[in-house]
Homo-oligomer: A and B are copies of this chain.
Amino acid sequence: MQHMDNHSALLNNAVAALTRRTFWTPFPEMPSPKLYGETAQVAGRSAVEALFGCDYPLEQPGEMRRLATERSPYGVALDIRYPVCDTESLLVSANAAEPAWQAAGPEGRVGILLEALGRIHKRSFEVAHAVMLTTGQGSMMAFQAGSPHAQDRALEAIAQAWKLMSEVPSQSLWEKPQGKNPPIVMRKHFEVVGRGIALVIGCATFPTWNTYPGLFAALATGNPVIVKPHPNAVLPAAQTVSILREVLAEQGLDPNTVLLAVSDQSESTQRLATDRRIASIDFTGSDVFGGWLQEHARQARIYAEMAGVNTVIVESTDQYAGMLRNLAFSLSLYSGQMCTTPQNIFVPSNGIETDQGYKSFDQFGQDLAEAIDQLLADPRVATTILGAIGSDATLQRLEVSASTGRTVHASRALEHPEFPNANVRTPLVLAVQQADASIYERECFGPISYLVATDSADASVRLAESLAIERGALTLSVYSTNRRFLDAVTSASRRARVALSINLTQGVFVNQSAGFSDFHATGGNPASTASYTTPAFVADRFVVVQRREHV
């Protein structure tokens, strides 16, 4: 358990950053050869390609067969075969690993997790390439969100867990005065004890960024973890689990403290999730399955991030061009396949004032469409930003949605210069009226946005608030030069318990949430039940068991 010594400075800095929330990261987001090594990119890519058509090197108890479930949105044939293990074996093995993991204590556990995270960091390009091929993200995004930014979120979870655990003293001497008599004296011991096996269910779009917080928070607080990746994005999870198991084994601990559950049958996930031995579930995905879990996996604490309907409120701007560029990028990035992508843009039907003069609703739509076209004019840039469409369901949704409003920007298919079979699509933007709520109030996952002509800017605020409260939202964005209007939107964001971005016109996008500074989701509206990373995300993953006796 010598790892803690090597990582204590990192941990202390991370704990300090948690409550400062200024810019901080130990994991550089630029995929620079100087920072990551001259050969790192090629080596990472090669390591992934070497797995194509092979059995993934992971040995777990209860293996029944091998299964390849992934279908790359880039049209690359992966055919990597993962072990499918008997659910009962996984549960029994995880339970068997628990006492030693518990006995390692907060310091032992956190040291091991920081060591594993350091190794994950060293393999950033390898994980990033796995993320890119399985999710359809563009290469830059796959690197940043899949590796350093995901590592930030992992470290954040570890630091938050460490902070809370280290505030439980391991023992105390309790001396109760008895007037003139000697005091009553007791020695009390306090132990942080996990709740039991944690199940972490990954999503198809961010298999590390959305998996790491729950995975590392659960492990740090003393729980064995079963990672159930989305069938289409197994590789990043397999890499992560393998590195953790490697470090555990080196330390003489049971590698089955972390297990991978691969399956393409949702029934098997349902059986696992409702097993009474599963004490907590981290889930990222649809509100349908999230709702199912909340309804049926009643034995478990559930930390869920689900669907939401994100809104941009446009009232006025003094940087019209910057606003349009920013919005165009937000709508295009990863083809709107982010839980934080805006779906609805509320613009008053009678237009807005800007630094370039009055713009009618229709003019705004034309200008936004043009900004999108400009952003995506260069096919190489376009495919890097857009990535590929991850699922047939999204392609179908895009097709069906095309007739649900007046076309502001039509979605087109683009050729990918490197991957001829990739499904690349530009954003679809449709104009509708405020009264068309039945169209825009549902989440339309993918590159589909509605430009909604509202009765007034005030109506936009009321509508955005009620949408967030009823349907959930992970982000809310506003453009206005009127401070009183911004105050009203701030109040609405407070009532709807949604994070607000104000007048983004530069290099920050509403879709993005920075570790150690931005809280991702609030856990306070239907889009999520938890937040990366508040104390609430970690605190209930362990209990304190005490014992006391007279000295």
> Interface on A for B, CB 8 Å cutoff?
18-23, 102, 164, 167-169, 172-178, 184, 186, 188, 190-191, 193, 195, 294, 298, 490, 493-494, 497-508, 514, 517-519, 522-524, 531, 534-536, 539-540, 543-550
Contact = CB atoms under 8 A, between A and B. Distances in A.
Given A20-B172, A22-B172, A497 B545 contact: yes
Contacts of A195: 524
A536 B534 contact: no
Contacts of A522: 193, 543-545
A546 B499 CA distance: 5
Nearest to A175: B23
A549 B501 contact: yes
A548 B502 contact: yes
B188 A21 contact: yes
A543 B517 contact: no
A176 B23 contact: yes
Given A21-B172, A22-B174, 8 more contacts: A21-B190, A167-B535, A500-B546, A503-B550, A518-B548, A519-B544, A522-B545, A536-B540
A193 B536 contact: no
B534 A20 contact: no
A390 to B, nearest CB: 28
Number of copies: 2
A534 B164 CA distance: 10
A201 B487 CA distance: 36
A56 to B, nearest CB: 34
Contacts of A493: 545, 547
Contact of A22 (B173, B497, B517): B173
A532 to B, nearest CB: 11
A135 B39 CA distance: 75
Given A188-B518, A494-B191, A507-B184, A169 B21 contact: yes
A186 B548 contact: no
A501 B547 contact: yes
A540 B543 contact: no
A521 to B, nearest CB: 9
B523 A543 contact: yes
A22 B102 CA distance: 25
Contacts of A191: 494
A10 B190 CA distance: 25
Contacts of A546: 499-500, 518-519
A520 B313 CA distance: 48
A329 to B, nearest CB: 14
Nearest to A172: B21
Contacts of A497: 193, 543, 545
A227 B519 CA distance: 32
B505 A550 contact: yes
A294 B300 CA distance: 12
A549 B319 CA distance: 14
Contacts of A175: 22-23
Contact of A543 (B167, B172, B524): B524
A102 to B, nearest CB: 7
Contacts of A500: 545-548
